[in-house]
């Protein structure tokens, strides 16, 4: 197998790479579209604003090999903004087009007394579907979050995990071997490492 972490000018790449190394899998950080096209597993991290990530991703010419990877149902993992970018539209600093893999929107948490935005720190995620991938993991499990926006897919059957903050929100998506998490597995200690280990086995 060959696992690549997409480098399109955003941070957090080395911590993701180190997490995969901890579960015994070497991961290549690359911006080379050819290396992405040849990979068996692709990871799309994301840190910062939705529009900035989309602009940098497009400029890096990675959309075409990623879309081909997804069309072949090869294992793919989006993390944080890397999950949000899979949807149709993000509403951070205006409305901006995403990759459109899933129809839906990325919206901001409302202002509610007693809750801080961004949602930051440890929170539980519970399984909401019957996909075998999640049955192999402990649940509900605690994961580490840092975000002000969250995904609202039009097709709720895509929601794999939900987390409560103000109200339930989508904390993971899945379709086939495409996975995406709003939380950071690489920062989520044992639960996150188990998720990455399971992803590698796909």
pLDDT digits (tens, 9 = 90+) for 47-89: 999 999 999 999 999 999 999 999 999 999 999 999 999 999 9
pLDDT-based confidence at 136, cuts 50/70/90?
confident
pLDDT of residue 68: 96
Euclidean distance between CA atoms 79 and 183, whole angstroms:
7
Euclidean distance between CA atoms 123 and 115, whole angstroms:
13
Active centre residues (catalytic): 80, 184, 186
Phi/psi at 191 (nearest 5 deg)? Answer: -65, -40
Which 3 state secondary structure label does DSSP give 7?
Answer: coil
The DSSP code sequence of 66-96 is HHHHHHTT--EEEETHHHHTTEEEE-SSS-E
pLDDT digits (tens, 9 = 90+) for 81-128: 999 999 999 999 999 999 999 999 999 999 999 999 999 999 999 999
Residue 62 near residue 36 (C-beta atoms within 8 A): yes
Would you kindly state where each structural domain of the chain is located, as residue ranges?
3-200
Is pTM beyond 0.85? Reply is yes
- What's the CATH architecture for 3-200? 3-Layer(aba) Sandwich (3.40)
Within the chain, residue ranges assigned H as helices are: 13-22, 33-38, 50-59, 63-71, 81-84, 132-135, 189-200
pLDDT digits (tens, 9 = 90+) for 157-189: 999 999 999 999 999 999 999 999 999 999 999
pLDDT of residue 141: 93
Reading the block at residue 65, the tokens are: 């090999």
């Amino acid at each position: 197998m060959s696992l690549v972490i997409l480098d399109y000018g955003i941070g957090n790449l080395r911590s993701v790479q180190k997490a995969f190394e901890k579960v015994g899998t070497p991961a290549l950080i690359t911006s080379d579209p050819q290396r992405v096209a040849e990979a068996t597993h692709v990871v799309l991290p994301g840190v910062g604003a939705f529009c900035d990530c989309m602009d940098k991703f497009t400029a890096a010419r990675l959309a075409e090999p990623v879309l081909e990877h997804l069309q072949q149902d090869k294992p793919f993992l989006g993390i944080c903004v890397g999950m949000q970018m899979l949807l149709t539209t993000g509403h951070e600093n205006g409305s901006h087009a995403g990759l459109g893999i899933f129809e839906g929107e990325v919206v901001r948490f409302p202002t509610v007394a007693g809750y801080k935005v961004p949602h930051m720190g440890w929170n539980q995620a519970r399984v909401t579907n019957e996909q075998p991938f999640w049955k192999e993991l402990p649940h509900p499990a605690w994961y580490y979050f840092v975000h002000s926006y969250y995904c609202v897919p039009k097709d709720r059957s895509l929601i794999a995990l939900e987390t409560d903050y103000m109200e339930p929100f989508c904390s993971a998506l899945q379709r086939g071997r495409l996975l995406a998490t709003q939380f950071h597995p690489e920062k989520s200690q044992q639960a996150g490492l188990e998720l990455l280990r399971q992803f590698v086995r796909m």
